[in-house]
Structure 1
């Protein structure tokens, strides 16, 4: 499932290429025909993300709420000629380091040198596709909703949620979500997270995945945050010291910023330039414990454990996190 950084990056593409333009909305698949007709012909006036959910505003009165879930993805096509995040603008989407250096890959040219209209897929991974011969391209597959601006089109497939809401309905949805470091005031967000987590008897490994407690954290960031804090994922939230919870919030703020800037869930610090470039190119080289079941801990050498918690795979070191 796309985690918070991916949804923020997708939303920034809408802010860059769609906000301020009149949008032709349709449902090639047919399942969202009614909702598409409500926003068809309206101007997109805002685009924002809270955790794993995104909200697109039309003419200051209607909102399109989208939750990608496990299978959803946006495909952009047309004038996608620059990354919407400043730190990555000099290189390929999701494959630049924090200094903007491009990782060589003949299959994915830099967005800054595309020239012709291109396709761009955005979900957990971002992939730049072939040049377009015509614009807009024909919808491919089960496109739930198509949003067409003057020179850019976005196709949504497979979302968990896709609905048109009134402003008060949007506020009701957001009110139920935990704080997002890129949305909430830093001090207020930290206080909301800590105050909620410290009251729970639930294991901290489950609390971090609870979108009502904190927004945007998924399976990867959960495992990495806990390891970076050397925190046992089974420890109840009420037994985690307040200062440790505050440090978790600070680290989530940091990692989310890195994810938005690079397009990658880069969770290892202190790497050499060569190791950093390798980590951006290969997921196995950018995480401490995630997806490393049975492999030696990078710190102590103990095999990393994987267990299922609430239907999701949880990775941790049984030595460094106890």
Structure 2
């Protein structure tokens, strides 16, 4: 599933491409036809991301909400528009560009009230300037749930997926099964600030790169710059111990048993 940086890049691209333009909207697949007709001929006011949700604002108080899920794609291309290929749920077209949405988990028209409800139930997003990390901290500090699960809970912290979860915990030496209430305030705030920087870098370069510059020479030439994610059975870049994996709330964990020692019951 795309992580928060992907949605932010998409929102920025839609903003730069369509904001201020009157667009045509259609649903070649037919599943969004009625709602697309309401958007057809209206002006795009802007686009933003909240965690893993995309929100495109149209005039008339109409808001397009998209969640890509595991398989969704929203591709923006220059005109002339080509005939739709595959199951295109929504096509947006201006005089200079068009965008095709395929396979989303959610594609629906919302009201401003529904947007407000979404933002209220999501945790703070490290990519949003209005994010308050203390909202996440207040949930984490009281919870016996493992920090590896809390970081993936979008109501605690929005936009973080499995890659950022694995890598940020490694960078801060935290075992993924450490209870939230055993994470110190200073540890969390350092982790949060690191996420702000790493996810912004992800928006800039278009992929997740988490290895610190001084450790890049340790990464194999043909490998992605990651410490532990999908490196089960390989040697830790820093200490040489074998990277381990387990499953937590349906998703794979990755960690180094030396660099991220198990929690022993003391803070």
> Within 1, Cα distance between the matches of 2:134 and 2:230?
31
Are the counterparts in 1 of residues 24 and 93 from structure 2 also a CA contact under 8 Å? yes
Structure number with higher relative contact order (C-alpha < 8 Å, ≥ 6 residues apart): 1
Task: Count residues in correspondence.
Answer: 261
Query: What does residue 191 of structure 1 align with?
Result: 134
Q: Could you tell me which runs of 5 or more consecutive residues in structure 2 were left unpaired when the two chains were aligned.
A: 262-267
Pairing 1:167–2:112 present: yes
TM-score, normalised with respect to structure 1: 0.78
> Within 1, Cα distance between the matches of 2:78 and 2:134?
42
Pairing 1:291–2:236 present: no
Shift of 1:184: 3.9
Query: What does residue 136 of structure 1 align with?
Result: 81
TM-score, normalised with respect to structure 2: 0.93
Q: How does 1:280-319 map to 2 (within 5 A)?
A: 284-319=223-258
Q: How does 1:1-322 map to 2 (within 5 A)?
A: 1-59=1-59, 61-78=61-78, 135-185=80-130, 189-271=132-214, 284-322=223-261
Q: Deviations over 1:264-300 (max 9, x none)?
A: 1010112488889x87xx5x33100001000001111
Are the counterparts in 1 of residues 93 and 99 from structure 2 also a CA contact under 8 Å? yes
Are the counterparts in 1 of residues 216 and 225 from structure 2 also a CA contact under 8 Å? no
Are the counterparts in 2 of residues 45 and 60 from structure 1 also a CA contact under 8 Å? no
Query: What SS does the aligned partner of 1:221 have?
Result: helix
Query: What SS does the aligned partner of 2:128 have?
Result: coil
> Within 1, Cα distance between the matches of 2:218 and 2:236?
17
